[in-house]
Structure 1
Amino acid sequence: MDPVLAVGIILSLDKRERKRKQYWSKRWFLRKQTFGHAKLLDELRLNQPEDFRNFLRMDEESFNELLWLITPLIEKKDTIMRKAISPMERLLITLRYLASGNTFEDLKFPSAISPQTIGRIVIETCEAIISCLDGYIKIPCTEDEWRLVSKDFEFHWNFPHCLGIDGKHIAIKKPAESESFYFNYKKFFSIVLMAVVNAKYEFVMVDVGVNGRVSDGGIINSIKFGRRLHDKQLNLPKPEVLVEGDIVSMPYVFVADDAFAMTKNLLKPYSQTHCKLNDEKRVFNYRLSRARRVVENAFGILSSRFGVFQRQMFLSPEKAATITLTCCYLHNFLRRKSRTYLAGGSADWMDGDRELHERVWRESQTKLTGLLTTTQRNSTSRAKLTREASQNYFCTRGMVPCQLNRI
């Protein structure tokens, strides 16, 4: 036989042999019931409830309720080719991703699911969570609903007519062909999470997805909430006196930091850049800071509970926004359902003398990056009068015992 022909036959047979040995799935993926997440969860549920909470960032009762809610939206049917991944496995892999922030490539080993499939599962499950928990983030629609938010701030933090707002950068990989569109002042690529928070550390408004380059006070005008605030469409209560018999009526205000331009309904502290502040202004800054700590705590708790915020997300801006929004919904869900979610010193607190005590998350490196301080200084006369009236109130009838010691 011709030697060349013989070699050709051998190569052809070898190629067909290799082709016959190919599988539609890696063999060890087919054995995920032996060592996958579901088996580990059963062990933790029975013997280590604390580790169960650490593993998924929620207790068993909350997990079971969430699974019951989203099962109709994520359940798939078995086929003659393969058995479908169960709703519990889908929720497990999603919660573990949110809790750890590990890449899909890393998560394939404990779950025995391919990274491509994990990527689809995580986004589909997050969309289902957002849909099922839709009522857990709800911006107040009426004056009475805003008053309830304000009264909680006054009761817990001694700031009447107060509402809270802030924004943070969420680190993402550079989107393809985006150039510097998502490049922020801290020299990384990001989208911005804007939120209004109530006195119970719950998000009442969340907007996520604005490019990180818009990092100054103008960002509030880039979101629907900011435009509604500017156009007076939020149904905020009309200005009211703080104490019966007062002449000056005070508007309801969002307390913010120097990242925002001050307006009639948005107060920020006095700047210490150009001049030394007197005691009255320092008292105002302290009292406003106490109220703003609620917003800072909400972001701090979010980033410490969900490890996905502690590293860069290797996702598109749209998918990163879905992940971020899901964590905000889960935060509110667990805040209301779980007794252990804020246990162990998660949030700042005040003692009987109204003395503020800070919590451990402030000392960690997991805090989200704040917005850039705005250079807009052209506050309206009405905004300045509102701040002065608040300052006078805090230094007279609204004084709290510890404020002079804290300035």
Structure 2
Amino acid sequence: MDDVTAALLAVVVAAASVSAVIATVDMRGLRRPPKAPKTFNTRAFETALRTREQVVHAAWGREPGPNTKNPVIKRVALTKLYLAKGGTIDQAATALGISWPRSVVYINETLDVLSAMAKSMIFMPPAEELAAVEDGFYATAGFPDTIGAVDGTLVRIARPHDFEGWYSRNNFPAVNAQAIVELRGLFRISSYVPPGKHLLADAGYKIWGHMLTPFPEADAMQDPRKRRYNKAHSRTRIVVECAFGRLKNRFRVLLGKLEQKTSDRICKVILGCAVLHNMLTLMRDGLPIHGEDPLLQDAPAQVSEDPVEREQAVCHQKGIAKRNGIADIFVSS
């Protein structure tokens, strides 16, 4: 884990970690409170907070001057409030008593740090860990050789000046965010799928040797083999829909319309939320998150497999053959 990752983990870590530091400085054990319970003394609290800040400053590369009214931890809290509550930057700024212009600067700084952390927080597991991922997916519904599920979701944005190309088929401007998700709900990214392995996608995607889709619904209704395949495929792939649902309901700014104007800033908001989502998932944050993603990309009921329309026919045929082979596994189930 690099310095930047460690720094941000120090900011979002649970309050119990702070209590442990305070208890150490205060020379008291958490398991044996004093006879007359009282809050920790001011010096102990301030020492713990300074210890935490020294680690956090590594992410920014500099420590704010002594006259700074808004320390780094408050800036991170501002960003988390903005992302989680789903309101505007002005509302988050008002809640913490920070001016709107400074809030924009602080939020952009924090999102820049989170974006820099993406390489260390959003990546495909190394080869030695993929076997465990594969086993986890197989245990769900018996679907073999799966290392992830892929899907896309729409995030509303303000109407850009060059609006052509930004409108979704739902007739509002949006960014289509696509992601790979593994069994624990972690967002992953990869430009390479190992030979023999595959991702699962819905019917809105084209089938390839490295990405398997369900059979067309009309075919599955008439063939028990294809119907069982589709059921196992759906039970396994649903992890990506659950992950997007948790992401958007944990960081509710993604449920509304982003107020950022440039594509760079829009992407950093989405990426920052994904980084924080992975961090909280790895920390086993126990807070229950309820709700669905209302803007998951709806897939058409059927995808054409007309040979005239096929691109990269060899890979396409491999995908169809692999899907048929896996469907045979479910004949006896």
Q: Identify the range of structure 1 (151-160 vs 95-104) with the bigger mean alpha-carbon deviation.
A: 151-160
Render the CA deviation track for 1:96-131: whole Å, top value 9, x for unaligned. Answer: 001012112222321221212111111111221333
8 A Cα contact 2:155 2:255, kept in partner: no
Output the amino acid matched with 1:395. V
Output the amino acid matched with 2:297. G
- C-alpha deviation, 1:135, in angstroms: 2.0
8 A Cα contact 1:262 1:268, kept in partner: yes
Higher CA-based Rg: 1
**What pairs up with 1:101-250 in 2 under 5 angstroms?**
101-132=86-117, 134-142=119-127, 144-162=128-146, 163-176=148-161, 178-205=162-189, 225=190, 228=191, 234=192, 236=194, 238=195
Q: Identity over the aligned pairs, expressed in percent?
A: 20
Question: 1:335 maps to which residue?
Answer: 281
Distance 1:330 1:110 in 2: 21
Output the amino acid matched with 1:323. V
Question: 1:46 maps to which residue?
Answer: none
**What pairs up with 1:48-127 in 2 under 5 angstroms?**
59-61=14-16, 70-74=56-60, 76-78=63-65, 83-127=68-112
- C-alpha deviation, 1:196, in angstroms: 1.0
2:331 aligned with 1:395: yes
8 A Cα contact 2:84 2:251, kept in partner: yes
Question: 2:7 maps to which residue?
Answer: none
Output the amino acid matched with 2:65. D
Where 2:266 maps in the other structure, the secondary structure is helix
Give TM-score scaled by structure 2 length: 0.75
Question: 1:324 maps to which residue?
Answer: 270
2:322 aligned with 1:386: yes
Output the amino acid matched with 2:280. L
Render the CA deviation track for 1:33-82: whole Å, top value 9, x for unaligned. Answer: xxxxxxxxxxxxxxxxxxxxxxx997424799997654323355337xx5
- C-alpha deviation, 1:195, in angstroms: 1.0
Question: 2:291 maps to which residue?
Answer: 361
**What pairs up with 1:257-276 in 2 under 5 angstroms?**
257-272=202-217, 276=221
Change (3 A) 1:95 1:289: same
- C-alpha deviation, 1:156, in angstroms: 3.5
Question: 2:258 maps to which residue?
Answer: 313
8 A Cα contact 1:149 1:199, kept in partner: yes
Give TM-score scaled by structure 1 length: 0.62
- C-alpha deviation, 1:325, in angstroms: 0.7
Render the CA deviation track for 1:353-377: whole Å, top value 9, x for unaligned. Answer: xxxxxxx524xxx533315548553
Output the amino acid matched with 1:86. P
Structure 1, unaligned runs of 5 or more: 1-55, 206-224, 229-233, 239-250, 347-359, 400-407
- C-alpha deviation, 1:275, in angstroms: 7.9
Output the amino acid matched with 1:116. P
Change (3 A) 1:124 1:165: same
Render the CA deviation track for 1:115-151: whole Å, top value 9, x for unaligned. Answer: 1211111111122133346422222454x44333212
Change (3 A) 1:62 1:263: farther
Change (3 A) 1:156 1:171: same
RMSD value, Cα: 2.8
Distance 2:153 2:68 in 1: 42
Output the amino acid matched with 1:327. C
- C-alpha deviation, 1:197, in angstroms: 1.0
8 A Cα contact 1:67 1:91, kept in partner: no
2:282 aligned with 1:282: no
